[in-house]
Amino acid sequence: MQYTILPLTQDERQCFTLTVSLNGASFYARVEVRYLPAPDCWVLSIWDQSTGDLLVNMIPLICSYEQINDLLRPFSYLRASQGLGSLFVLRNVDHPSTPDPAGGNLSEFQVLWGDRYE
């Protein structure tokens, strides 16, 4: 399995394009990560870069702790049932200041995206 670590910063709105290997095939995506102050959380949206289609809109970044929490699993029906692979939020430090990414601590977590986790 191959995963890409998303190149995130503390900027409240981040947009970038990247190529992700999804089960051996390249997928060209545009990703937007935004911080929402009212609920104090980070959200992620994904577009198909080749068609411009919005595939995933503002899913909250929720950390995996004891069990794997695949944030893209509910979207496995997309792209003719090829899905979008798997996306995980993992701790980047032993004891993050909050359980999930919030205000100023996105750097305490890593977001990995790649092949579907079975």
pLDDT beneath 50: ranges in the chain: none
What was the pLDDT predicted at 117? 82
- Joined tokens for residue 13: 């709105």
pLDDT of residue 13: 97
CA distance 71 to 86: 7
pLDDT recorded at residue 2? 82
Provide the pLDDT for residue 64: 83
pTM over 0.95: no
pLDDT given for residue 23 in this prediction: 82
Query: What b/e readout covers 63-73, taking b as 16+ CB neighbours within 10 angstroms?
Result: beeeeeebbbe
